[in-house]
Structure 1
Amino acid sequence: MLIKRNDRLAQIVSQLNKKFKRNTTPAVKRFIKVVKRGLFNQNEISGFRDGACSNTVDTASVRDYEAVKWTLKKLNAANYIPGINIGIEAFSTCDIPGRAVYHTVNFAQKAFENHANSSSLPIVGILGPEASSEAEETSAFLSSLSKEYQLYQFLFSATSSNLNDERLSNIVRVIPSDTIQTKVMQHFLKQLEWNYVAVVYENTTYGRTAFEELSSSAKFEGICIAKSFPIEIGITVDFSALQTVLDNLLSNAESQITGVIFFVSTTTASDFLSIVQGRKQGSFFRLMMVFSESIALERSMLKNYDSVSKGTFVTSPPVLEVKEFSNHWNSILSNKTSFLDEYVTNHWLLNVLRKYISCDPFQETCLMPTLQEVSTSENENIFEGYAIVAALLQVNGIKELHSEKCKGSDGICTELRETLHKHKNMLFKKSSREVIFQDVPFHFEKNFSIILNGKNEVLMNGNISAYEVYQYRRCLDKNEDFCLEKVADYGENSLKVLTGRLVDYSDNNNEIQWPNMYKAQCSLGRSCKSCKVENTENDIYFKNGDFFIIGMAPVNTGDLSNPLHCGVIRESNGWECTEAISYAVDDINQNKDVFPNSTIGFIILNSCNQPVLTSKKLLNIMNNGVTLPNGTVVHDVSSRVLGVVAELGSSISQAAAEVLQEFNIVQVAYGSTAAVLSDREEYKYFLRLSTPDTNQAVAMVDISKKLDLKYIQILFSEGTYGEGGRDDVIRAAKSSKVCVANEIIVQENKYSMVLDDLRRNPYAKVVLLFLKSHVVSEVIEVITRSMDAEEFVFIASEAFGTRTEIIENNPKLENSLSLSLEIPLSGNNLKGYIYSKSTEKYYLNPWTRSFLEKKNACFFPGSFDKSSNEQCEKVFDRYNSSDIKYDIWSPFALHAAKVVLNGAYASFRHICGLNSKTICSEYRDNPKRVWEYFQRQNLSLNGVQTSIFDDNGDGNLGHVIYQIKKSRTDPKVLEFVKVGSFSQSTNLNLSRIDTINPTKCPNQKCENYCSLFYNGNVADKQETSNDSSNTGVVVGLSVVAAIFVFSTIALIIYILIIRRGLLKSIQEQEHYGNKNQNIRCLRLKPSWKPLKVNLDPTEFSMRNEYLTVVK
């Protein structure tokens, strides 16, 4: 098998030799008993052809190699491994993965030769390669070999997170990965308040993975990557492609992009800055930049373009400086003797030196640059420190192995030789441990140790940051020059920004201090729609705790085209409810009235008024826990849920109940008035603070009867709430002899024909409303916009309540009535709680920003919609007012949360015991008993302990009745005036009500119909009518045909009149008299008014196939 492997390797080497010919002047080998091999870029990729390197030297790579060589020289001189010297052989890859693989295959062949020949010079490992794309391919090859041939690769500059893949089992990486770098960028951008940026990245393993990680994590912090530009790397960087990138940044149609993140090489960065500097000379624009660690803190590159690079940020691993090596490097380039000594083992030094001199350094007459020249010009190279650490760690592994195998003897003992030659995978131990470099003949400026954890990436422990951020700005110690100054430290998952060091530069080069610096955001007057989160179904308001209550509120409307998506944010009865629930929990935790030994958390969900979405969310939480915006998952949630506060809408409460009762969890709704929710066989563990619609319907009908309004219509929402209310009204109306002339169902966003539907029964002037809370305002606005004054009067359900925004500037609503469910908030500081949120920089409630922007038609700094041009100011001030008026359902949500908390505590204390830290099985196994504790809860309302539930768990507070009247202080303003109340115990109580004209049937046919209605013989009023001659009742298709024919005739007449230009207005003249007056008269009027066509089925009939309008 070994021979076959060697044969195969020989074939691979032969094939690769044809493509990648060996350099004629490789680095000189220095083998002293044991050798390690290194892969370094040395030459840049630009200009290579068919795998050949360019003549442009990569100075940083040459310096990295020199750092490793210097380290080994120091260790060998100090006899670090007794009797053993470590040598290195270096190979140039030119940033070409194919060349790296070629050399790696040769290394593997040497490993096989070691296995076969114990007298051969052992190869102990590989240092590098430097680029992530090279490292990924070489490691994939080596990791595919049998363990005994797998050479460890110690990486010091390849940062791609792909290299954390444990399948690449031979990797030991000492430099932090891009996973950390992208976290730092994400935190730093948030601190800078940059949230509208672009990313430019080289389309390599490094660039792609860094971009993907940043784009994935940035969205959790509300940072929008509006554009991304992959740069293809070939023979050269395409200059025109970089020019196109700049064009796109400056001309982005949505909004100009002023902040750019770069994952590119120094060469690409330099080319881009050159383009920007050239463009800047002829036009004005602002571009703020953040470069990744790949530019290696090269100050000289930024200095070449300082007219555009000033203020630029660079993220970087911590600099691991070894001053002795820095002095050594400067000495090589300034001292001819040092240069000639090191050139023998590092021929690439000559190309570096040519940056300073043009003469031949091997000639006596050639003068070297001065030490000051070199020290001033040479950049701080972040990778050299990590190259030294990688070399130390690799040699330390051999040192430990020597100590273990040779038992104190010098040199390579037999057992060590066997391991070195035949068990490459044993040359380093990745198992969890701490490595402290002792007896090292030099020192780092920072004290640290290496923590191994069995994975590919090591950690550093000690007086050292995990990552750092630098800014190119005026030097802190010499203000006339520009330096890369550290402005942020990252460690322990947090970023500490030194805001006192942050600066920006105006166009006239003046420094702008934090926090007045420019920010990369959506431009004023623009709407950056690509960044707005349209579907907020995954948003969650979360606070951790020992136990949880779950709350739900319809913060958004539903997306009518998708039952799993959300629509626009609501301006009432949504966001404030979430704050009320969170306040109840925070208040309990602060005062420790209940659960004194535990902390209560909350999970508040946005139902978006979507039953299917509600079920999905609850099931997901019960099964999978809670996924937070940063990706963290809180597991084992279902076993810690004490109860649920849900919801406002009846259909949502139904959906929630069907899920929760499967988990034996008690639910308390703060709204949800539909009668069907009173069924305890169907909804076993459900309670609600609101009084059911059964009582409300009776109240509305009783009001109609008492005011002699006996001919009415019903306008109701599609769904459980509206349809249930309609059914309750029908039942109550039949019992009270109040005739329902018409039932009109209202579908969401389809309101244009509602007024026409009402006008089909013009004498049924009183309209009972059962419309959902987020619908009622829009429907009323549409109706009253076109209706005549006093044409209709409304008696509205609690969803209308006392909402001032509905009656504002709407005089046609005068004398209408509404019912309201009310619960006082005395003794609670909800307004102070909400007002305190105004000082939060980042709102914990994920819906706060979008709600306040929509409610106040303004934008916050950092908003993605600045089309309003008005910045939000003092938007919390209403919660600092003494006469605060809450949304109707917010007090109910707060009290429902208190019922859940108090009820859970009472049941928990008796069932599980006060000292229990977990919810015991009896609490879950006996939900009816828990429900009973909840049902017995009282609330302190206006200082009086009040029972709020009846025996069935329904609310028993009753309704308050209001009439809409002109204000006594300003007759132009309408206001709600309390005129009565209704409850099961006291029934209807009315006073101070303004007169509403009675409504009755207009003719005998109507009375006949109403008689049928009272007796329950009208299945569908739209399909039933009487004729004027008492010839019987014609039903079914005849009526449908009549409606169709009449509608067609009316439409034709209308079109003909319009076409002839005769119609200014048609006003309907109604004549009611004896049965011979059977023709409806139409006469022209000289003013424009809408055409009214009445199609009341009680007012026409079919006889002898001719249409007769009965009057």
Structure 2
Amino acid sequence: MAPSSLPSTLILTLVEVLLLSDSMLSARDSHIVYEGDVYIDIILSLYDNDDGTCGTIDPKSVQELEAVRWAIHNLNVPPYVPGVTLGLRAHPTCRSMGKVALVAANLANELSQNKSKTFGIIGPDYSSEAKVISSLLGSLTEEYRLPMIGYATTAASLSDGTLYKNFFRVIPPDNIQISAMEHLLVAMNWTYFAVIYDDDAYGHEGVRHLESVSKQRGICLIEKIAIDTQLSYQETTSKLNETFISLVNQPSPVLGVVVFGGTQLSASLLDVMNKSLNNVQKFPILILSEAAMDVGMFAVNWPTVLAGSFALNPPRRQIEKFEIYWESLYKNQTKLREEAVKNPWLLDVFELVSNPNCRPSNITCGQLPQNILDSILVPTPFVHFAIQATIVLIEAIKNVYNYKCNNADLCSSFLNVSRTEITNKLAFSKVELDAFPLNIKSFQGISVIFNGSVDAEPQQQSNSYVVFNCQENIDRIRDDCFKEVGNYNRLSNKLEISKDAIKDYKNYPNYTELSWNDIRKGQCSNGSLCSRCVNNEISPVLIIPGELYIVGVVPVHSRGALPMQCGDLKRGGMDIAEAINFAIHQSRFQYGVDVPNATIGAIIMDSCTHPLLIKERLLTLYRYGIINKDGSYLQIISKVLGFVAAWTSDVSISVADILTEIKHVQISYGSTASILSNRTMFPYFLRMTSSDTVQAKVMLDIIKDLGANYIQIINSDNSYGNGGKDVILESLDEYGICVAQVITIPSFPKWIQSDIIQKIRQFTTAKVVILFLSTSDFEWLVPSLEERLFPREFIFIASEEWGRRPLLQKVNNLLGTLTLSADPPMNQKFREQMLSLRSNGQDDNPWLESFLEHELKCHLQWSFNKSSSKPCRNDAGLKNDYQVDLWVPFVENAVYALLTGASRTLTKQCGKTEDICDKYRGNITELIEQIKRVKLDLYNNGNSEYIFDSNGDGKLGYSIYMVDNEAGGVKYSKIGTSSPFSWKKDEWMTLMNLKGQSPLKCEDRASCPNCFQIDKPGSSLCACSGYLYSTISLIIVCTVSMATVIFLLIKLRRKGGNKLKLFRRFQSHVKYIEV
């Protein structure tokens, strides 16, 4: 039967084959290296490619061929398959894709003409070649579909059994190697590296995967250099010389290079590095992939530039019997001549390494020198895989043979068997390697299991990859400098590495050994700005995995200067983000909160203090879920217990607008705007704080008690600032206070601080100034007030966003400032957690690195901007005097309250389940009521009390603080409380030198003209402010003007004659209104 149709790409390749020169097709053709009744074919390079022809013999490839031949010989004596001698035929490819296609075409032709005695294929040794051969043979009808089993082909794409129907392999695929390499980069703190790779399927797939995982890890792959595998050794070396000079001469030299390619690529690079040797410390440190780890040859020829580098390889299992056999060939020329009759490529290896005039036929040559033997005798990393592939394939052949021939002699039923039967037997097989008569010690307890997939299943206790480190002065075997320092297990996805065992060196030739902290790392160099790697995108979310979630909204960053943009880190934002996670973990231990059968995770979203930005992010969360590192989305909204959000009132309002629509409960930890008490507008909103109405009343009580009646207001232009201002203005009549002016600070663009100072100085008799500002506006304004004002020039009463925050370096000019603060005690355990924070360059918290660098005024070793600040110490953490933000206790209590209410509601509505049932989601009123019933010991005095009132507002009052001096520093002295209202007025008056005086009261028109009625000279002070009078005056003018307009229109309608005159009179009134 003729072969089935072939893929168009392969047809093209076959056409190219037919056009090859006769010399290419005839050179080093296929050869039977072991006679047999039935055959296994092995396809492998055997030679380097030299400009389209077979070049230099490859000792590594010859060794792998001989290992398979050795295994087959030992399984034939006595016959492992009763009555059958297994044969072996070798097909050299010379790394030529044309020759690869020719080999595949010849095999297909033999099968189609029923001339083939081949029952399986081992190899080839390169992934790109395996793709061509499997695509061709796998496209044949099932009768001719030869099974292939790879021992060195690791490209991840070969795992696709729908494309490569007849292909299997015993070596782990490259996605496993890349995972091991990813973990090694992280463990070695690499963040900045280049990759040099073979321009073939193996290289392209490996680098594409490596680039993807590096990006997810925040590791910068700065350069990708592909080297054509068809180049000669000299051409490859020339190309790499340019590459190497470019890498080390960059403004930030590349000190980490991954080599993802074969022996020729690695050898050429090491040659280039060796010729450029001046100072080892300036050289890149290498990570070699498994295809490049020909350890014996590397260690002998380039020990200097290789010292300190790493190599990855699947676990090397020593095959002692074969190693003894292999060594005997090149130490016993008689034996070599005998075996070379069957395997002629053995002689090519001898000729490669020996004196040109010396041949095995010349008995006077003597033995090869030891250093020459070392270069060819070390087992390649793939020898044991080649033997495993041989065993597994033979076992499948034996099983089909026994079935077809009924354990008798070789029968025609087997000789004519459909090759797919062997393929199917392979697809679901378990082969215990130590059950074979080869008696290989390193195979004891090892099984190769295929369960319908291309790749063998991993063993439970078997490591998938081993990390080696090239070291000097260790006990060596044949100058092998590589010492095992780590193991990667793909089942656990963990790399166990011994940092103490890793060595690096400098100061060649003395080899000064470096400690772990000083070894070369692939990182941006000190003093450099690696601008291509700087990620200007601020991560919007921190995800702490769980089965159920709390969503936190936190202002990690301030609002940016441009629309929908984040700005700098916001003071206190990181504290709140950490507090949410801390409270989730502590809730079970401190309050016994336990959500049945579920672990609680957190999704912490950065609001960037921007109402519109957080709306966008919440809608994305609702519609799509959270984004994974690979770019996919995970739907989680059905797993959300509730929201802890937010700090500022305008952001809380934006969040509430969304959550009201999708019916989710929200607890704010810091929003005080009075409008948030409106349960018609915000039915699912609760908060830990009291509303601004309470805070404003406390301020007004202080002002009244001081006898002041003429004040100024400075507020932020947001929900918080405007809300506080409005409460004060609405209460003026009640308190008999007049407002000289209201200064509202816009969000953008910011004014110059001196402009505000100039404005308040316009009303010097209005000495009391109320500050209702956001934290960022306090941070922006207060230092200028301290610097530019005179002592006691004004008396400031500040809202709780100042509280006891460290806004001042000195207090002279703001001495006596009064601030409000709602300050339950700080949890000491949380403070300890903040002080324990450390970055390892791979933090789950995407903001931790920039936070530590900002607080410590230094750069971490994995930073991409090292141009200005000093390096941080290796264990850099916050200083002991770090002041945790005052809102943290509110955050903790909000989390505790939400979890407690959610736990009770879940148990009541859903029973003990790890999922959120429809009743929980559909009866949100029940959840809100359960939250309102929560009691907490807020002041650590043993008294638990309700934390919400009936409306869902917090019940905490305020403490009154006074800015005071303490040993030349700033001190906040507590001098009062809001509930009941009481404060140490005399103490404050003494501090301000106001004892026995009343300079805060305005009693005449000259001092406060806005506060006296113009038509009643000498009258008492009016409770209306100038601000309010201006508004009333405008209303009166508008009302009179509108009445005039209406009057003229009526007249115009009644008088049709003199329309033009009346119209002009009407037009003159409109101009007056506009003016």
For the aligned pair, the TM-score class normalised by the smaller chain equals 0.7 to 0.9
Deviation at residue 873 of structure 1 after TM alignment: 8.3
Match of 2:719 in 1: 720
Given that 1:44 and 1:95 are in contact with CA atoms closer than 8 Å, whether structure 2 keeps it comes out as yes
Match of 2:1059 in 1: none
Equivalent residue in structure 2 for 1:923, among 907, 920, 931 = 920
Match of 2:299 in 1: 302
- Identity over aligned pairs, percent: 27
Given that 1:735 and 1:1014 are in contact with CA atoms closer than 8 Å, whether structure 2 keeps it comes out as no
User: Take 2:665 and 2:529, find their aligned partners in 1: how far apart are those partners?
Assistant: 44
Given that 2:821 and 2:958 are in contact with CA atoms closer than 8 Å, whether structure 1 keeps it comes out as yes
3-state DSSP of counterpart to 1:798: coil
Q: Please tell me the residue identity of whatever aligns with 2:494.
A: S
User: Take 1:581 and 1:690, find their aligned partners in 2: how far apart are those partners?
Assistant: 17
* 1:827-858 deviation per Cα after TM superposition (whole angstroms, max 9, x unaligned): x6322344455699976544333322211213
Over the aligned positions, Cα root-mean-square deviation in angstroms equals 4.0
Alignment of 1:563-582 (within 5 A): 563=564, 566-570=566-570, 572-582=571-581
Deviation at residue 59 of structure 1 after TM alignment: 1.4
TM-score relative to the length of structure 2 = 0.84
Given that 2:307 and 2:505 are in contact with CA atoms closer than 8 Å, whether structure 1 keeps it comes out as yes
Given that 1:78 and 1:441 are in contact with CA atoms closer than 8 Å, whether structure 2 keeps it comes out as no
Q: 1:823 and 2:824 equivalent?
A: yes
User: Take 2:970 and 2:3, find their aligned partners in 1: how far apart are those partners?
Assistant: 98
User: Take 1:550 and 1:306, find their aligned partners in 2: how far apart are those partners?
Assistant: 55
Alignment of 1:143-542 (within 5 A): 143-166=138-161, 167-236=163-232, 237-253=235-251, 255-281=252-278, 285-354=282-351, 355-359=353-357, 361=359, 363-365=361-363, 367=365, 369-370=367-368, 375-378=373-376, 379-414=378-413, 416-420=414-418, 423=420, 426=423, 428-431=425-428, 433=430, 436=433, 438-443=435-440, 445-447=442-444, 448-461=446-459, 464-474=462-472, 476-477=474-475, 483-491=481-489, 492-507=492-507, 508-514=510-516, 517-542=519-544
Given that 2:596 and 2:907 are in contact with CA atoms closer than 8 Å, whether structure 1 keeps it comes out as no
User: Take 2:649 and 2:541, find their aligned partners in 1: how far apart are those partners?
Assistant: 22
Change (3 A) 1:1020 1:303: farther
3-state DSSP of counterpart to 2:87: strand
Given that 2:154 and 2:173 are in contact with CA atoms closer than 8 Å, whether structure 1 keeps it comes out as yes
Match of 1:42 in 2: 46
Deviation at residue 353 of structure 1 after TM alignment: 0.7
Deviation at residue 953 of structure 1 after TM alignment: 0.3
Alignment of 1:1008-1047 (within 5 A): 1018=1030
3-state DSSP of counterpart to 1:215: helix
Instruction: Return 223-232 or 502-511, whichever deviates more.
Output: 223-232
Change (3 A) 1:220 1:134: same
User: Take 1:387 and 1:510, find their aligned partners in 2: how far apart are those partners?
Assistant: 40
3-state DSSP of counterpart to 2:586: helix
TM-score relative to the length of structure 1 = 0.82
Change (3 A) 1:592 1:1015: closer
Change (3 A) 1:230 1:674: farther
Change (3 A) 1:628 1:250: same
Q: 1:669 and 2:671 equivalent?
A: no
Q: Please tell me the residue identity of whatever aligns with 1:907.
A: T
* 1:1021-1078 deviation per Cα after TM superposition (whole angstroms, max 9, x unaligned): 9x9999xxxxx999xxxxxxxxxxxxxxxxxxxxxxxxxxxxxxxxxxxxxxxxxxxx
Q: Please tell me the residue identity of whatever aligns with 1:128.
A: G
Change (3 A) 1:635 1:1020: farther
User: Take 1:737 and 1:169, find their aligned partners in 2: how far apart are those partners?
Assistant: 90
Instruction: Return 76-85 or 924-933, whichever deviates more.
Output: 76-85
Match of 1:756 in 2: 755
Q: 1:98 and 2:98 equivalent?
A: yes
Deviation at residue 704 of structure 1 after TM alignment: 4.4
Match of 1:868 in 2: 869
Deviation at residue 889 of structure 1 after TM alignment: 0.6
Given that 2:60 and 2:380 are in contact with CA atoms closer than 8 Å, whether structure 1 keeps it comes out as yes
Change (3 A) 1:1017 1:155: farther
Given that 2:150 and 2:171 are in contact with CA atoms closer than 8 Å, whether structure 1 keeps it comes out as yes
3-state DSSP of counterpart to 2:937: strand
Deviation at residue 660 of structure 1 after TM alignment: 4.0
3-state DSSP of counterpart to 1:470: strand
3-state DSSP of counterpart to 1:382: coil
Given that 1:551 and 1:602 are in contact with CA atoms closer than 8 Å, whether structure 2 keeps it comes out as no
User: Take 1:462 and 1:555, find their aligned partners in 2: how far apart are those partners?
Assistant: 43
Change (3 A) 1:442 1:780: same
Match of 2:89 in 1: 89
Given that 1:449 and 1:460 are in contact with CA atoms closer than 8 Å, whether structure 2 keeps it comes out as no
Deviation at residue 734 of structure 1 after TM alignment: 6.2
Change (3 A) 1:938 1:318: same
* 1:177-202 deviation per Cα after TM superposition (whole angstroms, max 9, x unaligned): 22122222222233333333332223
* 1:723-779 deviation per Cα after TM superposition (whole angstroms, max 9, x unaligned): 433443443346655444554443446334354256356116654333322332023
User: Take 1:341 and 1:360, find their aligned partners in 2: how far apart are those partners?
Assistant: 17
Number of positions where the alignment pairs a residue of Structure 1 with one of Structure 2:
1006
Equivalent residue in structure 2 for 1:22, among 25, 30, 45 = 25
Q: Please tell me the residue identity of whatever aligns with 2:755.
A: D
Match of 2:1055 in 1: none
User: Take 1:473 and 1:902, find their aligned partners in 2: how far apart are those partners?
Assistant: 57
Q: Please tell me the residue identity of whatever aligns with 1:453.
A: N
Deviation at residue 655 of structure 1 after TM alignment: 3.5
User: Take 2:985 and 2:904, find their aligned partners in 1: how far apart are those partners?
Assistant: 40
Q: Please tell me the residue identity of whatever aligns with 1:773.
A: T
Match of 1:586 in 2: 585
User: Take 2:273 and 2:16, find their aligned partners in 1: how far apart are those partners?
Assistant: 44
Deviation at residue 960 of structure 1 after TM alignment: 2.4
User: Take 1:10 and 1:350, find their aligned partners in 2: how far apart are those partners?
Assistant: 36
Deviation at residue 144 of structure 1 after TM alignment: 4.3
Given that 1:853 and 1:872 are in contact with CA atoms closer than 8 Å, whether structure 2 keeps it comes out as no
Deviation at residue 528 of structure 1 after TM alignment: 4.1
Match of 2:75 in 1: 75
Alignment of 1:696-845 (within 5 A): 696-704=695-703, 706-707=705-706, 710-733=709-732, 736=735, 738-748=737-747, 750-756=749-755, 759-760=758-759, 762-763=762-763, 766-782=768-784, 785=787, 793-804=795-806, 806-809=807-810, 811-825=812-826, 829-837=829-837, 845=845
Given that 2:737 and 2:1024 are in contact with CA atoms closer than 8 Å, whether structure 1 keeps it comes out as no
Match of 2:888 in 1: 890
Change (3 A) 1:796 1:137: farther
Match of 2:133 in 1: 138
Alignment of 1:906-1055 (within 5 A): 906-913=904-911, 915-942=912-939, 943=941, 944-965=943-964, 967=965, 969-970=966-967, 972-982=968-978, 992-994=987-989, 995=994, 997-998=999-1000, 1004=1009, 1007=1012, 1018=1030
Deviation at residue 5 of structure 1 after TM alignment: 4.8
User: Take 2:978 and 2:497, find their aligned partners in 1: how far apart are those partners?
Assistant: 61
Change (3 A) 1:99 1:729: farther
Given that 2:3 and 2:112 are in contact with CA atoms closer than 8 Å, whether structure 1 keeps it comes out as no
User: Take 2:276 and 2:583, find their aligned partners in 1: how far apart are those partners?
Assistant: 58
Instruction: Return 573-582 or 436-445, whichever deviates more.
Output: 436-445
* 1:1054-1109 deviation per Cα after TM superposition (whole angstroms, max 9, x unaligned): xxxxxxxxxxxxxxxxxxxxxxxxxxxxxxxxxxxxxxxxxxxxxxxxxx99xxxx
5+ long unaligned stretches in structure 1: 115-119, 1027-1031, 1035-1103, 1106-1111
* 1:842-888 deviation per Cα after TM superposition (whole angstroms, max 9, x unaligned): 76544333322211213445444443215358875755x7xx85311
5+ long unaligned stretches in structure 2: 1015-1021, 1043-1070
3-state DSSP of counterpart to 1:53: strand
Change (3 A) 1:651 1:247: farther
* 1:761-802 deviation per Cα after TM superposition (whole angstroms, max 9, x unaligned): 611665433332233202333565556666655432221221
Change (3 A) 1:86 1:990: farther
Q: Please tell me the residue identity of whatever aligns with 1:583.
A: F
